[in-house]
A and B are shown apart, each in its own frame.
Chain A
Amino acid sequence: MKKVIFIPILTLIALSLEVSLGFFAVADESSDLDKQIELEKNKLDMLSQQLKQYSPPIFTVSSDVQVDFGYRPINEWLKENTSPMLTINGTGINRTGDVYYNPGIAKAWIEPPRDTKVSVHLSKAEVTGTTAGLALMSTLQAYAEVRVYFSALGVSGNVLCKGFIDPTQVRGVIALQPILGTLLPYVLKFSSVGEITVLTSCGIGALGSINFTIPIQLDTSSSGSFDLGLANTGKIVLPLEAGGKEIPYRIVVSKPNVNSSSDSLQIRADLDITIN
């Protein structure tokens, strides 16, 4: 009888001992983990402070979304387009008035307008970033051909007038326009545009020559846009094991702010996200 009672008591003592040992082992391990966690947290605090201290200016953020667009791809694009040259052609479609008029003596007018051909060549274009914008340097060359009818002292006829501009270095700016969605539109403007004119001259034999000018206005001619690198949509994809759903979301860039520096074009904006 004593033996019978003794066995379960021993078993319980053994079990209690095992349970207690297990418990203390877990508690000891837990305390060790706490110490390690504390140590890692302290390391993290120190690293976080140093990261703030040493992070280069590009990592300073002020908006939901920021884009910095370097000038290398812009210059490469300009080089591709202007090597050997970008040619803008013009053909006359209409004219008014006389290019030369001397009452009772002579007059001359462009006729037919379609015989007027103008071509402007831009080469070696390169952009430099400044805080004021994107400064552009290029070499411009132009050629014009105009057919002119004249009537002078009872003599009339037509003559092909020619004019040209020798390669000239021109300055301009790539004027950045307000952001449109995820695009940054630009307009190419030459600062010396008022002075770029093709002096066209045509000789009319013994009667002398007729001179007139064709201004080259490229201000509004060359425009386009830079893609900001932002897509209009992104998506959250749930794996097949979790239903396999794709949830697209649409972004809208708001309150954009565009600046330029010597390094890059800088766009700062807020981002509105809507789930489709």
Chain B
Amino acid sequence: MIDKICRIDIKFKLLIGLFALSFLVSCGSTIKQQKEGQLAVLKQVNATSKATLEGFKSGTLPQKYDIHLFFRYAAVNKALAAIDGYEFPLPNNANIAVKIGSIRLKGIGASPLVSIQASARTGELTADVEIGAILTPISNNATAAALQINVLSFAPRISWWIFELTKIDFVNALLAVELNKIALRLPKIELPVAEKIKIGGTATQKDQTFNTTKDSTLTLRINIPATQRERTLSISNYVFLEDGLHIFGSLK
């Protein structure tokens, strides 16, 4: 009988031990992942800032341009406010919903940091999620000024008590998500940049009266040919600074 009780005891203690281990590993992983995320973002920001600074120092930035457009992040953020609060299922677990509270752009160094307030929810469980992200152009030499969000980290910010073991699966699912799959669920931003740029006037006709002598006039019907020409904007590069983003392009 005692032997049987002890065997049950062993199994029970083993179980508690394993849970405790899982808890500590999961708990430690969320903190580690948050910090790794912060580090990844900082490294990316510093790399971009360094490259931009070198461009400034060497005189290669800005390159020759026909048109330069600047947009303050604050203005773009007004448009981003339109999607506050949208949701999508976690790519690796459809039972978990990720809610994007807000997405805002903020310049740090020479990098556009994307500040994302997000949370994850399944049943009664919720957790804030720390998403480290930066803004990147979809492609250079494009006619449309389209930008996407590049996710560098995704870590649940969670506080729990040792016996909240039900959170383990939830946390592990959040920790296991692939960053590019999260990025695919974030919005693309198309800035109000014209692809076609017109210069000149359309053909016009107008009547104008001139004095031919002191006492005589002549009215002419004047035909002015169209002078309007259309050019296509080709974006050659973007420079992101603390206030906002600069777009340089050529007209062809």
* Complex contact A92–B218 (CB within 8 A): yes
Tell me whether A30 and B227 are in contact in the complex, defined as CB-CB below 8 angstroms, given that A110-B216, A231-B194 are known contacts: no
Tell me whether A90 and B222 are in contact in the complex, defined as CB-CB below 8 angstroms, given that A58-B62, A225-B201, A231-B194 are known contacts: yes
Tell me whether A63 and B192 are in contact in the complex, defined as CB-CB below 8 angstroms, given that A95-B218, A226-B199 are known contacts: no
Tell me whether A224 and B227 are in contact in the complex, defined as CB-CB below 8 angstroms, given that A51-B241, A215-B210, A234-B192 are known contacts: yes
* Complex contact B79–A249 (CB within 8 A): yes
**1/0 contact string of B86-117 vs chain A (CB within 8 Å):** 11100100000000000000001110000000
Would you list the 8 A-B pairs with minimal beta carbon distance, nearest first?
Answer: A224-B201, A97-B216, A26-B28, A90-B220, A15-B17, A40-B42, A234-B192, A94-B219
* Complex contact A44–B213 (CB within 8 A): no
**1/0 contact string of A76-107 vs chain B (CB within 8 Å):** 01001100001111111111111111000000
* Complex contact B229–A80 (CB within 8 A): yes
* Complex contact B83–A221 (CB within 8 A): no
Number of residues of chain A lying within 8 A (CB) of chain B: 108
Further contacts, 5 of them, CB under 8 A, given A61-B243, A239-B186, A241-B88: A48-B109, A54-B57, A229-B69, A230-B192, A242-B86
Alpha-carbon distance between A94 and B209 when the two chains are bound, in angstroms? 9
**1/0 contact string of A197-241 vs chain B (CB within 8 Å):** 000000000000000111101001111111111111111111101
Smallest distance from the beta carbon of B247 to chain A beta carbons, Å? 9
- In the complex, what residues of B have CB within 8 A of residue A235's CB? 190
Q: Is B215 an interface residue (CB 8 A)?
A: yes
Tell me whether A90 and B88 are in contact in the complex, defined as CB-CB below 8 angstroms, given that A58-B62, A81-B200 are known contacts: no
Alpha-carbon distance between A29 and B102 when the two chains are bound, in angstroms? 31
Chain B residue with the shortest CB-CB distance to A29: B32
Cβ-defined partner of B61 (8 Å) among A56, A67, A224, A234? A56
Q: Is A192 an interface residue (CB 8 A)?
A: no
* Complex contact B13–A239 (CB within 8 A): no
* Complex contact B21–A237 (CB within 8 A): no
Stretch with Cβ within 8 A of A (4 or more), from B43-51, B121-129, B170-178: B43-51
- In the complex, what residues of B have CB within 8 A of residue A237's CB? 187-190
- In the complex, what residues of B have CB within 8 A of residue A93's CB? 207, 219-221
| 24 A-B pairs in the complex with CB atoms less than 8 angstroms apart | A8-B6, A11-B13, A19-B20, A37-B39, A40-B39, A54-B53, A56-B62, A59-B241, A68-B68, A72-B66, A92-B218, A93-B207, A93-B221, A212-B213, A221-B222, A222-B201, A229-B67, A229-B69, A230-B69, A233-B192, A236-B188, A236-B190, A247-B82, A249-B79
Alpha-carbon distance between A54 and B35 when the two chains are bound, in angstroms? 31
- In the complex, what residues of A have CB within 8 A of residue B185's CB? 239, 241-242
Tell me whether A65 and B69 are in contact in the complex, defined as CB-CB below 8 angstroms, given that A215-B211, A237-B187 are known contacts: yes
Q: Is A18 an interface residue (CB 8 A)?
A: yes
Alpha-carbon distance between A224 and B224 when the two chains are bound, in angstroms? 11
**1/0 contact string of A1-43 vs chain B (CB within 8 Å):** 1001101100110011011001100110110011011001101
- In the complex, what residues of B have CB within 8 A of residue A27's CB? 28
* Complex contact A88–B53 (CB within 8 A): no
Tell me whether A234 and B79 are in contact in the complex, defined as CB-CB below 8 angstroms, given that A11-B10, A44-B108, A93-B207 are known contacts: yes
* Complex contact A98–B219 (CB within 8 A): no
* Complex contact A99–B190 (CB within 8 A): no
**1/0 contact string of B25-56 vs chain A (CB within 8 Å):** 10011011001101100110110011011001
Q: Is A74 an interface residue (CB 8 A)?
A: yes
Chain A residue with the shortest CB-CB distance to B20: A19
- In the complex, what residues of A have CB within 8 A of residue B233's CB? 229
Q: Is B251 an interface residue (CB 8 A)?
A: yes
Q: Is A172 an interface residue (CB 8 A)?
A: no
- In the complex, what residues of B have CB within 8 A of residue A47's CB? 46, 49-50, 53, 109-110
* Complex contact A67–B198 (CB within 8 A): no
- In the complex, what residues of A have CB within 8 A of residue B211's CB? 215
* Complex contact A229–B193 (CB within 8 A): yes
Q: Is B191 an interface residue (CB 8 A)?
A: yes
Chain A residue with the shortest CB-CB distance to B192: A234
Q: Is A113 an interface residue (CB 8 A)?
A: yes
Tell me whether A234 and B191 are in contact in the complex, defined as CB-CB below 8 angstroms, given that A12-B13, A37-B39 are known contacts: yes
- In the complex, what residues of A have CB within 8 A of residue B83's CB? 236, 238, 245, 247
Q: Is B80 an interface residue (CB 8 A)?
A: yes
Q: Is A73 an interface residue (CB 8 A)?
A: yes
- In the complex, what residues of B have CB within 8 A of residue A59's CB? 239, 241, 246
Alpha-carbon distance between A41 and B25 when the two chains are bound, in angstroms? 28
